[in-house]
Amino acid sequence: MEQKSVTDSAHVAFSSRLSSRAEQISSESLQVASKLAARSVVAKRNRVIVRGINIFVGGFAVAAAYIHPLPQMLGTSGVQLVGLAAAVVLILDGILPIFIGDDTPERLSEYAFYIRGFSGMLLDTLADDDLPTEVRRARLVELLAMANKNLEDARAKWPWVDA
């Protein structure tokens, strides 16, 4: 009888630690997912701005080169400067992602959705009173392992999520 009491208290302690850890990881997942989603919105806005600049500069370069009064008004050096500006914009458009990262808004958004999903699954598992204790424990252990792996992956790819 004494052995069963010790075993029961060990299971309760383990379940309590597991539940606390699940709540903690769920909270961390929500924080990381929120930061990824916010960065996705910024990346989407930046993409629109850069595309707008590319279209404007490209359109101006075409106009400066081919619309009759503009080449004469700008002169040879003016047309060359417009061409140079267009080339610089195109080069920067290709080079900047190398230095500032090429994470697309879609990638960030999908990753945020995925990580947020683990938070929901953890909380749903904790709240499901119909699950047998052993099933709940097993599910929490697996979900925690997957959520931790994804948080580690996100933190390795984007260190700013912990800032």
- To the nearest 5 percent, what fractions of the chain are helix, strand and coil? 90, 0, 10
Which positions ≥6 away from 146 have C-beta within 8 Å?
118
Integer angstrom CA distances of residue 119 from 61, 95, 111, 142? 50, 37, 13, 13
**pLDDT one digit per residue (tens) for the chain, 163 residues:** 455 554 555 556 667 898 999 999 999 999 999 999 999 999 889 888 888 888 888 888 888 888 888 888 888 888 888 888 888 888 888 887 777 766 788 999 999 999 999 999 999 999 998 989 889 999 999 999 999 999 999 999 999 998 7
pLDDT at 46: 84
pLDDT at 155: 94
Q: At what angle do helices 105-127 and 2-66 cross, to 10 degrees?
A: 160
Q: Where are the domains of the chain?
A: 21-162
Q: Between the CA atoms of 154, 108, 29 and 135, what dihedral angle is there, to the nearest 10 degrees?
A: -90
What is the DSSP annotation of 82-118? HHHHHHHHHHHHHHHHHHH----HHHHHHHHHHHHHH
Q: Given the structure tokens 């597991």, which residue do they identify?
A: 18
pLDDT at 5: 54
